[in-house]
């Protein structure tokens, strides 16, 4: 299935109790206006249970992407809307993770993640 060219990256950091795993799903989805793409994204999220999802080329306006974000199971996120029928970024994260967005544009999202113990990633 050509739609599922996604990258799932396990990120590790060492704390006092050993290694802690954080899963990040990155996908150039080439548009989320198609129900098939949304189903594929839901499937990836169910399969990998990521802490973060980064989407590029969403090709959606903010309101549309906010609706998709909820349907995928994420409440928190930053949406950078598309310009016409190109571009669009989204960074989605679980509710138990604290994210401080430093900056963003139509080409990047820069954020600092802080876990409950105060450790910044």
Record the pTM.
Answer: 0.82
State percent of the chain over pLDDT 90. Answer: 49
| Average pLDDT in the chain | 83
- CATH class for the region spanning 2-114: alpha beta
DSSP state of 114: E
Q: What per-residue confidence (pLDDT) applies to 116?
A: 58
- Given phi > 0 = left and psi -120 to 50 = alpha, else beta, which region is 64? alpha
* Integer Cα distance of 121 and 110 in angstroms: 12
User: In 10 A of CB 73, how many CB atoms?
Assistant: 13
Q: Indicate the domain borders of the chain.
A: 2-114
- What does the block give as tokens for 68? 């998709």
- What does the block give as tokens for 96? 């138990």
């Amino acid at each position: 299935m050509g739609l599922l060219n996604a990258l799932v990256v396990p990120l590790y950091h060492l704390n006092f109790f050993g290694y802690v795993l954080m899963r990040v799903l990155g996908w150039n989805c080439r548009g989320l206006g198609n129900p098939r793409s949304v189903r594929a994204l839901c499937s990836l999220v169910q399969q990998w249970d990521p802490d973060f999802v980064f989407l590029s080329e969403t090709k959606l306006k903010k309101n549309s992407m906010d609706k998709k974000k909820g349907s995928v199971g994420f409440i928190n996120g930053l949406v950078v809307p598309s310009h016409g029928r190109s571009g669009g970024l989204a960074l989605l994260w679980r509710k138990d993770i604290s994210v401080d967005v430093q900056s963003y544009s139509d080409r990047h999202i820069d954020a600092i993640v802080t876990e409950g113990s105060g450790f910044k990633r």
